[in-house]
């Protein structure tokens, strides 16, 4: 068995049953004028991880392993958007409002799209999710079962919200989860640090944490 160097201990790779999940690397979270910036966040923290996310994606593609992308977005009629989510925090731009990149976090709008540098290629799965976790109200669970996936590598944003939520959902469903440390980020550095500590605590209670280089080397 190949083991990938990780914390709190080596990750036991199942080479034929692993997939990469890239969480919400969307324009609305990473570009000026998007939803993330409207909440007062420094989006440059997100764009700085693009090279590492890209390396990870290319590593999985080169190894012939599945790459799954997620996008947080809602239906144009907002029927899958709870009012509590839309109104919370009183942002300057609410989900569904018209912004510089179209309607905020609405399926099909320019701002909702995945960053060009990380865009899916033909054959890669794209999950549109209305919640923070990628299993809620999506076909992700069925897709993973059909493909015999047992392990998931995670990257994307933000570490403490959509990434950690999806890792916890996956953990509860029996998947072994590995977070690529340089390929995830938060608008708040202390939140990323805390999330990583929570994920790997108590013998990888949620999952493992490893480096992009070690993950690419392990799957190659």
DSSP-derived secondary structure for 41-101: --THHHHTTHHHHHHHHHHHHHTT--EEEEEE-B-TT-TT--HHHHHTT--SS-TTSEEBT
Helical spans, DSSP H, in 16-49 = 27-30, 35-38, 44-47
Q: Determine the structural domain holding residue 202 and report its residue range.
A: 3-219
Task: Return d(Cα 96, Cα 26) in angstroms, integer.
Answer: 16
Strand partners, 26: 114
Q: How many Cα atoms occupy the beta-carbon half-sphere of 68 within 13 Å?
A: 23
**Which is the catalytic residue, given 54, 129, 132, 192?**
129
Q: For this structure, is 162 an active site residue? A: yes
Phi and psi at 207, nearest 5°, equal 175, -175
pLDDT at 45: 97
Which CATH number is 41's domain given?
A: 3.40.50.850
**Which is the catalytic residue, given 54, 94, 132, 162?**
162
Query: What does the pLDDT profile of the chain (220 residues) look like in tens digits?
Result: 899 999 999 999 999 999 999 999 999 999 999 999 989 999 999 999 999 999 999 999 999 999 999 999 999 999 999 999 998 877 788 999 999 999 999 999 999 999 999 999 999 999 999 999 999 999 999 999 999 999 999 999 999 999 999 999 999 999 999 999 999 999 999 999 999 999 999 999 999 999 999 999 999 9
pLDDT at 167: 98
Q: For this structure, is 129 an active site residue? A: yes
Q: For this structure, is 28 an active site residue? A: no
Q: What is the CA radius of gyration of the chain?
A: 17
**Which is the catalytic residue, given 24, 28, 52, 214?**
24
pLDDT digits (tens, 9 = 90+) for 6-56: 999 999 999 999 999 999 999 999 999 999 998 999 999 999 999 999 999
154 closest CA partner among 210, 73, 192: 210
Q: How many domains does the chain have?
A: 1
């Amino acid at each position: 068995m190949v083991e990938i160097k990780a914390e709190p201990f080596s990750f036991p790779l199942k080479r034929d049953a692993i997939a990469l999940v890239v969480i919400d690397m969307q324009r609305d979270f990473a570009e000026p004028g998007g939803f993330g910036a409207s909440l007062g966040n420094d989006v440059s923290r997100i764009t700085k991880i693009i090279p590492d996310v890209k390396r990870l994606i290319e590593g999985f593609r080169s190894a012939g392993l599945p790459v799954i992308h997620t996008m947080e977005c809602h239906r144009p009629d907002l029927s899958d958007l709870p009012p509590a989510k839309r109104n919370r925090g009183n942002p300057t731009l609410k989900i569904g409002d018209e912004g510089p990149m179209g309607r905020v976090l609405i399926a099909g709008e320019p701002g909702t799209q995945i960053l060009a540098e990380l865009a899916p290629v033909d054959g890669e799965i794209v999950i549109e999710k209305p919640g923070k976790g990628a299993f809620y109200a999506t076909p992700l669970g069925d897709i993973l079962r059909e493909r015999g996936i047992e392990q998931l590598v995670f990257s994307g944003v933000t570490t403490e919200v959509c990434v950690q939520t999806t890792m916890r959902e996956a953990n509860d469903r029996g998947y072994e989860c590995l977070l690529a440390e340089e390929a995830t980020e938060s608008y708040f550095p202390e939140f990323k640090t805390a999330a990583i500590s929570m994920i790997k605590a108590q013998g990888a209670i949620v999952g493992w944490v490893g480096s992009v280089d070690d993950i690419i080397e392990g799957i190659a």
